[in-house]
Copies of this chain bind each other. A is one copy, B any other.
Amino acid sequence: MRALADCRDFTSAQELYALLLAGDHAIGLTTVYRALRELEADGGVDVVREGTGGRLYRLRLADGHRHYLMCRDCGRSRPVDSEAVEEWASRIAADTGFTAVEHTVELTGVCTDCLRCADACRPSSGDEGDERPCHWDRAPDPRDRARSCAS
């Protein structure tokens, strides 16, 4: 849980496992999965699914269930105001007569930092020597999410 709190963004079980190992914590992958599953059941984490089917976990904020907007490039996420969706979901439940209605909402985009990065070093000419952090040339794999593009 401490490790999960340290990475303040959505993190996969495997990432968390690697982080724990790197931090000199002897732990098994199974234990990480089990702990995350329990946390999920207890509502201690918000969960989001990445394109490849994996799950990403983020420690739930004190104020409960939230939705997030995540940058597809750097992976950073921020909670967003989601009253409107909550109300919408309740209304659907009421209108249709469905019970125990649950919703998952995933919002992704490209954050302003990453957009700036992309603009700055787009494949125009040879300005690769630019000292600005940039990951334009990274693989577009969501698992490669790097947090290097500081604003």
Q: How far is the CB of A98 from chain B (nearest CB, A)?
A: 3
Q: When chains A and B are docked, how far (Å) is the Cα of A24 from the Cα of B144?
A: 42
Find out whether the CB atom of B112 lies under 8 angstroms from the CB atom of A98. Answer: yes
Give 1 or 0 for each of A89-113: 1 = CB within 8 Å of chain B CB: 1011100111111111111111110
Q: When chains A and B are docked, how far (Å) is the Cα of A49 from the Cα of B100?
A: 18
Find out whether the CB atom of A98 lies under 8 angstroms from the CB atom of B110. Answer: yes
Report B-chain residues with C-beta under 8 Å of the C-beta of A112: 97-98
Assembly stoichiometry (copies)? 2
| A84 in contact (CB, < 8 A) | yes
Cross-chain contact of A111 among B55, B81, B98, B105 (Cβ < 8 A):
B98
Find out whether the CB atom of A84 lies under 8 angstroms from the CB atom of B78. Answer: no
Report B-chain residues with C-beta under 8 Å of the C-beta of A92: 69, 80-81, 107
| A82 in contact (CB, < 8 A) | yes
Find out whether the CB atom of A69 lies under 8 angstroms from the CB atom of B110. Answer: no
Report B-chain residues with C-beta under 8 Å of the C-beta of A98: 69, 71, 109-112
Find out whether the CB atom of A88 lies under 8 angstroms from the CB atom of B96. Answer: no
